[in-house]
Structure 1
């Protein structure tokens, strides 16, 4: 799936959330879309979060 297709799908989901709900509901849908995007990037290996997640055993 290309980035433009993904952008259209996210925009469509946000548009439906705003059309059939309120601004708050649209922001919630946007937040979950962002969370899903970050999880997908981590699973694909494009985003490395190891510097933000500390290993507690190494600090002892």
Structure 2
């Protein structure tokens, strides 16, 4: 059986509404929160597939 972990993106994986970035609109806007990269690597090393859904997709804002 395949294992997966689903992570919310904005505010869980990356910064949002901070001095550096309001929302993620391009790769340059991604600022991972502390220890997130390490945590995702640990999930991947344990055989989990890590997935995240961007807010714009969830809000149907993608053109």
**TM bracket (short chain):** 0.3 to 0.5
- Structure with the higher strand share, 1 or 2: 2
Q: Which has the larger radius of gyration?
A: 1
Which structure would you say has the larger RCO, counting Cα contacts within 8 Å and 6 or more residues apart?
A: 2
